[in-house]
Chain A
């Protein structure tokens, strides 16, 4: 029986040079759940995703993914781990020189010995799951933003990953496409029996999909709980984020000199 938690993050800190990005993060994500990591831009949520995917290694603390300690893995080990992992990028990141079909077939051709007829069936099934079987001959440049995102999703689930990572899946989509992606994330998670981590700042969409929310601010985990708990949170940081208030603990004004000084008014410290 594999461990109950697919991801365990124990007391992880990370810094670029002397600038701390993450401090003392603890997380445990049970298998089969859908979890959101939220926070404003620059809060460290993308860094956290990269630590899980093994793009970067934690300098302090431990990152466990599917029973393996990511800190210890070498490049080959990281690549082995990533075969059980699917990632959808912010703008899809489809290979522009390959057709929709070849994009979805990419991992099957790279990592398996499946025959072409078999690959064809699998690719069409994956595309059917995102409603784009009819678009398999198109090139990425012929797709709309929402369609690219759906193809990217089909490509990410090509090898039935145990863990799906979504990096800002809703950014820049119209409301209909947003609804489509939200639904797909829910459905695919159920169909694959996978675990999903959604990194996002689109609060309402994310709160609809996920079972649990981690809220990051300035590299620290300031709140976590079910969507209900987050919606009703009294923490001013979380409230400002969830309800989009323009001023609050995250200040509207960029730090500046006293207004009177900048305007050279009498009474400023310069006079």
Chain B
């Protein structure tokens, strides 16, 4: 293991090697997790339990944030659109912003800080208190019993949470735009209906949220499993989960957007 750190050329080399090693380790970890998913399939209750902790318990923060983001979009969108006399397009603006971008990205960021950090802390503490070793001593593979159900729960709940975020946001935009400001009800909905394309907009948003769900869950589980078994180790890993996940979400969002909408 490389130990010479600093700003020397040697230090840069050592850090590069460390990062590559860690990436390789993380890749083997996720491959092993997916390969050990048999238990989760045979005993769906394990996944359902985790779905409750990662998905259901994240609902409040997702729904409330979605509502606020949608209401802000209502104000900002109306303010911009009215200068061009096209307030009736408010519904389109709100829906497209949410479905294509804000829904998947904001929901993933919230998911990383609410559910991702909890997963890292939980697994890190299980490791620090020898619960994972105890499980191995009882001839039960912790990757199959503890990690894989959490992975699938995160993978499944992320797109659903993003969809609920977007739905709530559209409702928030409606509340501000139509109910409060008084944009025409009919044109708000009908323009939205004709402008939002199922494949181009909604499916692309879903693909984004699936990718983010994979990335956030992977990072959270790996950081927890790899955390040094001490109090500082677990707290450091939890912080890294939120930081790395957020950066990964935004970087992946740029790449995906470039692929999906860049070539048009």
Contacts and interface: CB of A to CB of B under 8 A. Distances in A.
B21 interface: no
Contacts of A83: 139
Contacts of A82: 136-139
A59 interface: no
B18 interface: no
B83 to A, nearest CB: 55
B139 A111 contact: yes
Contacts, number: 48
Interface in A62-101: 79-80, 82-83, 85, 87, 89-91, 93-97
Contacts of A111: 139
B137 A85 contact: yes
A110 B138 contact: yes
B19 interface: no
B243 interface: no
* Chain A interface size range: 20 to 34
A89 B139 contact: no
B131 to A, nearest CB: 5
A55 B136 contact: yes
Contact of B138 (A91, A94, A107): A107
Interface in B85-111: none
Contacts of B138: 82, 106-107, 110
B134 interface: yes
Interface residues of B, number: 16
A111 B135 CA distance: 12
Nearest to B129: A93
Interface in B120-162: 122, 125-126, 129-131, 133-141, 145
A53 B126 CA distance: 20
Nearest to B39: A110
Contacts of A106: 138, 140
A259 to B, nearest CB: 32
Nearest to A87: B137
Contacts of B137: 53, 55, 82, 85, 87, 89
Contact of B140 (A53, A55, A89, A110): A110
Nearest to B49: A97
Contacts of B139: 79-80, 82-83, 107, 110-111
A158 to B, nearest CB: 8
A91 B136 contact: no
Interface of B: 122, 125-126, 129-131, 133-141, 145
Given A55-B133, A95-B135, A107-B139, 4 more contacts: A55-B137, A82-B138, A93-B130, A106-B138
9 contacts: A82-B136, A87-B134, A91-B129, A93-B133, A94-B131, A95-B131, A97-B122, A107-B138, A110-B139
